[in-house]
Structure 1
Amino acid sequence: MGMTNIGLSGALANRVALNTTAQNTANVNTPGYSRQIVTMEASLSGNAVNGINLGSGVEVSDILRIADQSSINRLREATESAQYSQSYFNGLSNLENLLGADGLSLTQGMNGFFAAIDEASVTPESVAFRQQVLTNADALAQQFNAVSAQLSQQEAAQSERYGALVTHVNSQLESIASLNQKLQEDALLGKSIGGLQDAMDKHLNELSKSLDVKVIYTNGGVELSTPNGQPLVIGGYAASLERDLSSGDPYSTDLNITFQSMTTPVDASLGGELGALEALKTNQYDPIQTLLADLAKGLADGVNSALSSGFDLNGVAGQNLFTYTPGSEALSLAIDPNLTAQDLAFSSSATFAGNGDVLKDLSMLSQTPLTNGSVVGETPYSAYSGLLGDIGIFTRQAQSEATAAQVSMEDAQVARDSVSAVNSDEEAANMLLYLNAYEANMKIISTANQMFQTLLRAF
């Protein structure tokens, strides 16, 4: 019976190996799957002949997941960097396209306004030329409104995406905490945890697209924290992220993190797509909106100040051309709806409507440095052209960084797959090897049976 048992142990062990090879082959195209191998060891006890221990066959000691932790970590970090870079570049591209779109160029609007002023200076008393100034002033105001509104719409879309990412992150953290528990339970029971470890790596990679996480591997699980050390997952407990809109900004990227009933603000960039959206708001959307507001205010105040020193066609002291709401100057900029062409105070004389001294002052505003906020020292043209130039430079730089990060991620994927991915040729060779071993062990069982039958026939 020893020979039969030895053959049976070999058949069973090689059947496990065949099943493992089949599992590998089935998942040859499964992203994130790590190939597995069977380790066997000889059973040395239980079959003694004439006092000599021949052993009792073979047994499967373990099913190993083939993975290199450094390659897995590198892929996760590269994934986070690539997602951050690509998201930041996409945001800058949208900004560049918006600010350069036909009909939204403030340069064109200012060109039309100052050209109308220069034409009116030839015959300041002409109602037609005055109406042209009003028309172009209204067009310029509407362009400020449109650019500001489009920026707000883009920011609203980014904010909506930000909120969706926060929800997604919370879901991933809960899944990772649940996996932690399952991994610990199966490890204690001696079960194979290769599949669960693959699932954990998949969740970590997915989480890394949204934020940068620091990972500490424990026995049968992981512990996660933010870049500045705030806990995200410990054992079976997961943190929860929540947006903090208490500042009054509906697009705020401020976050609070709650772990074990303790809530604290997130006080550092999270990286990943969340970090990119936060950086776009902080470094681009908010400063651009501020610049546009300061530019609209500076231009409107300059025009209104010049007109206040003049007189209209009826000899009445000048009125403001532009109006705006403090705090949202670009979005609210408009011309006074009660103002007519005759009311424009182009003359420095109350008795001579053909005097165009105020028009000269208005024309000089295009070359006069502004004195307020973020545009101090800039002319209206240089302030806006500087904004466009900066956006162009930032976008090209972000594009280069996104390309480099994508290459790095692809290299990391290749490095990971070179160790863990399934090789069809290798699995085919293993299949033949284990199949031959299985058939040989079945032949041993058959031979043992024949020997037994021969022994029975001897009586």
Structure 2
Amino acid sequence: MTIINNALTGSLAAQVALTATSQNIANLQTKGYTRQGVLLTALQPTEAVKSGGNGVEVSALIRFSDDYKNQQMWRSNSEINRFSHTQPYLTQLERVMGDATASLSAGVDGFFAALNASDVDPTSTPLRQQVVSEADSMAQHFNSMNNVVSSQLLSLRQQRSAIPAQANEAIAAIALMNQNIVGSGAAGTNVSALIDARDQAIDALAGLMALEVTNQADGTRDVSLKSGPPLVIGSLGGSISVTGSATGTQTINLTFETANFVIGNQIVGGQMGGLGEFEEKVLLPLQQSIADIAENIATRTNDLLTVGFDMDGAAGQPLFTFNAIGSGASGMLRLTGITATQLAFSADAANPGNSDNLVQIIALMNTPITVSSIGSVLLGDADTQLVGKLGIDSKQNIALLSTADTVRSQAISDWQSTSGVNRDEEAVDLVEFQNMFQANMKVIAVANSLFDATLAMMN
């Protein structure tokens, strides 16, 4: 009977819908789960002209997914990781460089204060000894600050070295999921869970580097770096590696099949892009700026001392030894080992009480120097401006991080509005499809009663 057939298709469709609803409810707290539903289609009559139809069928299982919102999720994850992993470095630098006792300014001010004190009595041995002591203290300030930056560089590079393992795991997972989705889809299997797993892997990879994701007709997704080099094409995945040099610098490589790319300057966004940007735009220029200040103090002080005369009337000697970054020498700034008596404060060999040369050394505080990250600045103001620039960089990063966090939260909320499971909505669907099933079973019961009544009448 058509009535029974219609009711049977209706009850079966309700069962499929209930299964989809129960799956949604079961995954209410599953991260990245995309809710599913059924598309019901009325079956047209095939024979009887006056038939209402042949029931209903589940023509498709629906994934409630919006590709634009997926893309927004991945982009926002790249941005938030771009800034979040660099902020701890900036915070530490701000704290150390701005410290009243540990800063470069504290060391420089102490050294020039001792020089000013010696100008009162250039022949005073205790005052001269104080100059040597403060010079050594200043050198230690520079060395300590350089060590902080060097330690951050080492930590950053170790952090970057650990990223390829995570990236390659995600790349391999995406490629495998692409392969499984094509195979399972061809066999008619529901691939929603595989797509969810692939999207989670893409999101994880996006947290490491900015991506371009392209959907293909066969259901696969191709993934490439924002700058172009491919990471995943169909079931093929590339491999990222980081190699170090003797100087500590790193090269980031991408291997895809037989092609090899050097991609260090092509990775933008994500944790790896953020670390690279911080290293190139903040950390290395800061280290060079510290070296610039130290070199200027050492060179200019030494130049003046070597044209003066010490307490015994002998030609002056250098006070500092400066070691450039990467020279391999121990300490950026060191003392040569001359004694307090050998400080050449006098411009007159016959008059140890003369302080003309000392006055010129003191005047260095107001001498313009060139610092790589801030340009021309008075020597006495160099550290203050360096700390100020660092503060600006940190505040800018905090602002960008806050914006990225807001965008990420909004992207998640937008995704949830389309793809997330809503318990209230599912509860309504559960009741609706349960009623649908019970109603169809009632129709079958009515049809059976009619059939029995017809048989009884015929008998």
> Normalising to structure 2: TM-score of the pair?
0.91
Task: Look up the match of 1:60.
Answer: 58
The alpha-carbon deviation at position 454 of structure 1 amounts to 6.5
Counting only pairs closer than 5 Å after superposition, residues 190-201 of structure 1 correspond to structure 2 as 190-201=188-199
Q: Figure out how many residues of one structure are paired with residues of the other and give that number.
A: 454
C-alpha distance 375-76 of structure 1, shift in aligned 2 (>3 A): closer
The alpha-carbon deviation at position 86 of structure 1 amounts to 3.1
**Counterpart Cα distance in 1 of 2:371 and 2:50:** 99
Counting only pairs closer than 5 Å after superposition, residues 77-96 of structure 1 correspond to structure 2 as 77-96=75-94
**Counterpart Cα distance in 1 of 2:207 and 2:10:** 46
Amino acid at match of 2:141: Q
Task: Look up the match of 2:168.
Answer: 170
Task: Look up the match of 2:256.
Answer: 259
Task: Look up the match of 1:417.
Answer: 416
Counting only pairs closer than 5 Å after superposition, residues 278-289 of structure 1 correspond to structure 2 as 278-289=276-287
Task: Look up the match of 2:227.
Answer: 228
Task: Look up the match of 1:308.
Answer: 306
SS of the residue 1:183 aligns to = helix
Q: Which runs of 5+ in 1 are unaligned?
A: none
**Counterpart Cα distance in 2 of 1:371 and 1:186:** 65
More displaced stretch, 12-21 vs 111-120: 12-21
SS of the residue 1:304 aligns to = helix
The alpha-carbon deviation at position 451 of structure 1 amounts to 5.7
**Counterpart Cα distance in 2 of 1:375 and 1:44:** 78
CA-to-aligned-CA distance 1:5-50 (integer Å, 9 cap, x gap): 443332222111111111112222333222111112234467x67x
CA contact (8 A) 1:172 1:203 kept: yes
Task: Look up the match of 1:369.
Answer: 368
> Normalising to structure 1: TM-score of the pair?
0.91
Task: Look up the match of 1:386.
Answer: 385
Task: Look up the match of 2:25.
Answer: 25
SS of the residue 1:21 aligns to = helix
Counting only pairs closer than 5 Å after superposition, residues 236-255 of structure 1 correspond to structure 2 as 236-246=235-245, 248-252=246-250, 254-255=251-252
CA contact (8 A) 1:294 1:374 kept: no
The alpha-carbon deviation at position 143 of structure 1 amounts to 0.3
Q: Which runs of 5+ in 2 are unaligned?
A: none
SS of the residue 1:62 aligns to = strand
Counting only pairs closer than 5 Å after superposition, residues 131-146 of structure 1 correspond to structure 2 as 131-146=129-144
Task: Look up the match of 1:299.
Answer: 297
More displaced stretch, 435-444 vs 125-134: 435-444
Task: Look up the match of 2:324.
Answer: 326
Task: Look up the match of 1:202.
Answer: 200
SS of the residue 1:334 aligns to = strand
CA-to-aligned-CA distance 1:40-98 (integer Å, 9 cap, x gap): 2234467x67x765654332221100112112212222222222233344443333223
More displaced stretch, 264-273 vs 167-176: 264-273
The alpha-carbon deviation at position 320 of structure 1 amounts to 1.3
1:272 to 262, 270, 273: 270
Task: Look up the match of 1:35.
Answer: 35
Task: Look up the match of 2:432.
Answer: 433
CA-to-aligned-CA distance 1:184-241 (integer Å, 9 cap, x gap): 1122112222222222222222211111111110121101111221111001111111
CA RMSD in angstroms comes to: 2.5
**Counterpart Cα distance in 1 of 2:375 and 2:19:** 74
More displaced stretch, 82-91 vs 35-44: 82-91
CA contact (8 A) 1:155 1:251 kept: no
**Counterpart Cα distance in 1 of 2:100 and 2:443:** 84
C-alpha distance 73-33 of structure 1, shift in aligned 2 (>3 A): same
Task: Look up the match of 2:351.
Answer: 352
CA-to-aligned-CA distance 1:307-359 (integer Å, 9 cap, x gap): 112222233222211113233589421112x3222222222233332222221
Task: Look up the match of 2:109.
Answer: 111
**Counterpart Cα distance in 1 of 2:39 and 2:331:** 70
The alpha-carbon deviation at position 146 of structure 1 amounts to 0.3
Task: Look up the match of 1:15.
Answer: 15
**Counterpart Cα distance in 2 of 1:74 and 1:376:** 40
SS of the residue 2:90 aligns to = helix
C-alpha distance 375-312 of structure 1, shift in aligned 2 (>3 A): farther
C-alpha distance 372-29 of structure 1, shift in aligned 2 (>3 A): closer
Query: In percent, how many aligned pairs have the same letter?
Result: 32
Amino acid at match of 2:155: A
CA contact (8 A) 2:374 2:385 kept: no
**Counterpart Cα distance in 1 of 2:178 and 2:374:** 54
More displaced stretch, 133-142 vs 376-385: 376-385
